[in-house]
């Protein structure tokens, strides 16, 4: 571990009553939403807390802010989707969508419209929050595993069993493309600019679809070389994926895959294909990974009670602690100025970027040794 000045310093902390299941920053301002396995939903506005829902014994598993930051959605074990309108005065619960016994653990807002996509058994519901009505219901052949809007908002990808279906948002009647996989798709992740879509699969592999080659998925296509890449040989279940958000990443994309106590890093090198390397300092299962926006700084979070910060996803720079029984989830603020993490005993910690950290992150690794 490099003996360097810290990149981040602890800014705030507090605790909820149970395991932190989800954390998400608003794309606007300094709002952090936090959820727990006890059902709590907390909103931090400039580190001032507002309890939106008290513990009720039904886990909240997923949170999401709309693209303009005016809406917050929460869902989980109770089969309900709750929507708060976030005005300048105080948050207002304006809608509760009830689905009975369905456990809702995936939701995501359209990047530019107040449209919320969420899973409900074998369907995906598209809710228009501004109109207070369902925009579309997408039928799938099996329970939905994950979903994600393309960054430009033109497409929605949904995984169910061994298929990833991709709808065009201007035409909900049927999927435009279907990506067939050898094993069930568990996690989907678009790259920041939308050039790639990754799928973490049940057979410990990761598929990568190059969006410019999406037409190769059509049965009539003869372009076999344009079919999605398969990154195989990972040692265990892939729990999370993260794409780097750095300049020129569309030419040489960088993907982090969390499996067992390792982060397996991948980079696409022109004319050579996907190449990998390992980050192997964690002592227990890695549950989450995330890149700081606009830099190559990677945060990896483990049940061993540590978060590691890796410059350029290569060099370990700092160890963060504070969750006695291990961490559970993390998220970067869209500006990269704050890193929030949740713990398995209800801890919530927020670190802020040190004043000279960005300058040091821009230095080549050789200058730091």
Domain total in the chain: 1
Residue 364 forms part of a structural domain: yes
- The answer to whether 74 and 41 have CB atoms below 8 angstroms apart is yes
Residue 346 forms part of a structural domain: yes
Spacing of C-alpha 339 from chain mean position: 14
- Using CA atoms, how far residue 274 sits from 49, 213, 217, 292, in Å, is 44, 16, 20, 22
CA angle 207/210/216 to nearest 5° reads 95
- Using CA atoms, how far residue 73 sits from 78, 214, 346, in Å, is 14, 31, 20
Residue 10 forms part of a structural domain: yes
The pTM is what?
Answer: 0.95
Q: Going residue by residue through the chain (369 aa), what tens digit of pLDDT does each one get?
A: 545 789 999 999 999 999 999 999 999 999 999 999 999 999 999 999 999 999 999 999 999 999 999 999 999 999 999 999 998 778 999 999 999 889 999 999 999 999 999 999 999 999 999 999 999 999 999 999 999 999 999 999 999 999 999 999 999 999 999 999 999 999 999 999 999 999 999 999 999 999 999 998 987 765 667 899 999 999 999 999 999 998 765 568 999 999 999 999 999 998 899 999 999 999 999 999 999 999 999 999 999 999 999 999 999 999 999 998 999 999 999 999 999 999 999 999 999 999 999 988 887 655 443
Give me the count of residues in the chain. Answer: 369
Residue 88 forms part of a structural domain: no
Residue 317 forms part of a structural domain: yes
- Using CA atoms, how far residue 37 sits from 122, 148, 215, 309, in Å, is 24, 23, 42, 27
- Find the helix or strand (DSSP H, E) in which 116 lies: strand 115-120
d(CA 144, CA 130): 25
Nearest to 254 by CA among 240, 235, 239, 241: 241
The tokens for 104 are 């809702």
Residue 49 forms part of a structural domain: no
Residue 208 forms part of a structural domain: no
The tokens for 13 are 């902390």
Q: Which residues pair with 13 in a beta bridge?
A: 349
Q: What is the Cα Rg of the chain in Å?
A: 20
CATH number at residue 273: 2.130.10.10
Residue 350 forms part of a structural domain: yes
Nearest to 102 by CA among 55, 162, 143, 57: 143
Could you list the residue range(s) of the whole structural domain that residue 345 is in? 1-16+252-369
């Amino acid at each position: 571990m490099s003996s360097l000045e810290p990149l981040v310093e602890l800014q705030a902390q507090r605790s909820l009553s149970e395991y932190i299941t989800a954390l998400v920053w608003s794309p606007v301002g300094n709002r952090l939403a936090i959820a727990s396995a006890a059902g709590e939903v907390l909103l931090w506005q400039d580190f001032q807390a507002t309890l939106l829902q008290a513990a009720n014994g039904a886990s909240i598993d997923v949170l999401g802010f709309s693209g303009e930051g005016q809406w917050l959605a929460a869902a989980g074990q109770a089969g309900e989707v709750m929507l708060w309108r976030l005005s300048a005065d105080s948050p207002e619960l304006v809608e509760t969508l009830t689905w009975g016994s369905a456990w809702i653990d995936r939701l995501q807002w359209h990047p530019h419209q107040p449209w919320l996509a969420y899973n409900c058994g074998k369907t995906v519901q598209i809710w228009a929050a501004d109109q207070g009505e369902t925009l579309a219901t997408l039928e799938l052949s099996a329970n939905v595993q994950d979903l994600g809007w393309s960054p430009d908002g033109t497409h929605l990808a949904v995984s169910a069993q061994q298929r990833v279906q991709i709808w065009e948002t201007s035409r909900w009647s049927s999927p435009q493309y279907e990506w067939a996989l050898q094993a069930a798709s568990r996690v989907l992740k678009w790259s920041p600019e939308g050039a790639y879509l990754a799928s973490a699969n049940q057979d410990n592999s990761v598929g990568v679809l190059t969006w410019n080659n999406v037409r190769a998925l059509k049965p009539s296509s003869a372009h076999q070389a344009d079919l999605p890449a398969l990154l195989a040989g990972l040692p265990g279940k892939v729990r999370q994926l993260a794409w780097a958000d750095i300049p020129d990443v569309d030419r040489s994309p960088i993907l982090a895959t969390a499996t067992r106590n390792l982060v397996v890093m991948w980079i696409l090198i022109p004319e050579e294909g996907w190449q990998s390397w390992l980050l192997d300092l964690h002592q227990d299962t890695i549950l989450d990974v995330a890149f700081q926006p606009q830099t190559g700084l990677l945060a990896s979070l483990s049940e061993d009670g540590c978060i590691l910060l890796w410059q350029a996803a290569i060099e370990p720079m700092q160890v963060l602690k504070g969750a006695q029984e291990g961490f559970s989830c993390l998220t970067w603020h869209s500006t990269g100025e704050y890193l929030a993490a949740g713990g398995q005993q209800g801890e919530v910690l927020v670190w802020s970027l040190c004043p000279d950290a960005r300058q040091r992150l821009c230095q080549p690794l050789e200058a730091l040794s």
